[in-house]
Structure 1
């Protein structure tokens, strides 16, 4: 009997397409290219990506389940604006878990995993020096995920991955002019981890998240007072 030929299923190709669009739109939201309150028009996005509206619609559905966009019958689709109380809750719980993650990374002291974090830190500092600010959001995410791997606690890493996604809108509202301060804090955290100073690493990491949340809150208030932020 001749072997059955295998062909690519159209559904699989479609899935790959809308997942790619989802990832690109998620990246743009986290980078601040799509800002909280911005409308997302399916036709325009489909034209920009060179696709039909269907994969764009599926990508938006995923982004909605991620909590990154809102679908409203009157306003259409727009980037979510984090509620003040929800933003505070996300920052507080993420701060605690990031602190514990840094403590574990310092305790494990895995040289290979910490070297990976160090390389990402260098890339971030280089991007900052070169004023390539569009690359910083992804590098920031990469740095924190590298520290999650360095904790060698998969459950904690999974919890933080979910929290980082849900809180990405909060931190996307931080003033881009303070990126230098953020990357200096990254360097201080990594130094404490490399020194195996668990208490200092935990404290610095917790404070890093809380300060970032405060910067985002302050900018949100400025945007709201200037009429640039709408629910």
Structure 2
């Protein structure tokens, strides 16, 4: 059984509401694979490792259950969820609605006044992946992929869209980390055209590129998912 790594944060030292802090830390551990799909979560062990009492652990687990990260089975406990084909399809339906919109708004905003800092970071991520290629580990690539897609939504300058979309992007990171071949160049090639369209302020092209990318990823991932 996997254990939470020694560099986990002692969230009991935080001044934020413990339920939210613990939920954020458990979510991070799930997303980065420290708590893998199917792992049973033991309240006492997590409380000791995170430096909190059992109560905020229990409350945080209810939050993560509502978000779909945990499955709670009567008389057996809480387990890190496994994404089924149906759940992945649900996620991609939302991505198909939000990511083309985010790319269109990002390009429109760029046409008015480019966000040079965010664009530079997007190109830097693509350059880093291009230079390192297969040498990068899957966790790092998944994190960079999440940051890149988050940057696109940030470039939209639409606070409502950002608030809705960033959690979706993070959930997508979990799916990609488990199933995607991010270490292959083809997994990143479509991002170059997408960022270029946003930088050029071409809203139609950016929207089309984002939709094509989401469909391409969905088609490549679906055969690797477990049946619902």
Provide the TM-score with structure 2 as the length reference: 0.76
How big is the shift at 1:134?
A: 2.0
State the Cα deviation string for residues 160-193 of structure 1 (Å, max 9, x = none): 1243355554444323455543322222311222
**1:36 aligned counterpart, secondary structure:** coil
Distance of 1:35 and 1:127 partners within structure 2: 26
Residues 19/175 of structure 1: CA separation in 2 closer, same or farther (3 Å cut): same
**Count of residues in correspondence between the two structures:** 213
Checking the alignment, whether the CA contact within 8 Å between 1:36 and 1:79 is kept in structure 2 is: yes
Residue in 2 that maps onto 1:199: 204
Q: Is it true that 1:49 corresponds to 2:43 in the alignment? A: no
Q: 1:111 aligns with which of 112, 115, 138?
A: 115
1:168-183 equivalences in 2 (<5 Å)? 168-176=173-181, 178=183, 180-183=185-188
Structure 1 portions without partners, runs of 5+ = 1-10, 225-230
Checking the alignment, whether the CA contact within 8 Å between 2:103 and 2:156 is kept in structure 1 is: yes
Residue in 1 that maps onto 2:222: 217
How big is the shift at 1:195?
A: 2.8
How big is the shift at 1:69?
A: 0.9
Checking the alignment, whether the CA contact within 8 Å between 1:63 and 1:69 is kept in structure 2 is: yes
RMSD over equivalenced CA pairs, Å: 3.0
Residues 46/215 of structure 1: CA separation in 2 closer, same or farther (3 Å cut): farther
1:78-157 equivalences in 2 (<5 Å)? 78-109=79-110, 110-112=114-116, 113-125=118-130, 128-157=133-162
**2:83 aligned counterpart, secondary structure:** coil
Provide the TM-score with structure 1 as the length reference: 0.75
Residue in 2 that maps onto 1:3: none
How big is the shift at 1:43?
A: 3.0
Checking the alignment, whether the CA contact within 8 Å between 1:170 and 1:213 is kept in structure 2 is: no
State the Cα deviation string for residues 147-170 of structure 1 (Å, max 9, x = none): 111112222222212433555544
**2:225 aligned counterpart, secondary structure:** helix
State the Cα deviation string for residues 69-122 of structure 1 (Å, max 9, x = none): 122223311112334334213202212320121122122212323223333434
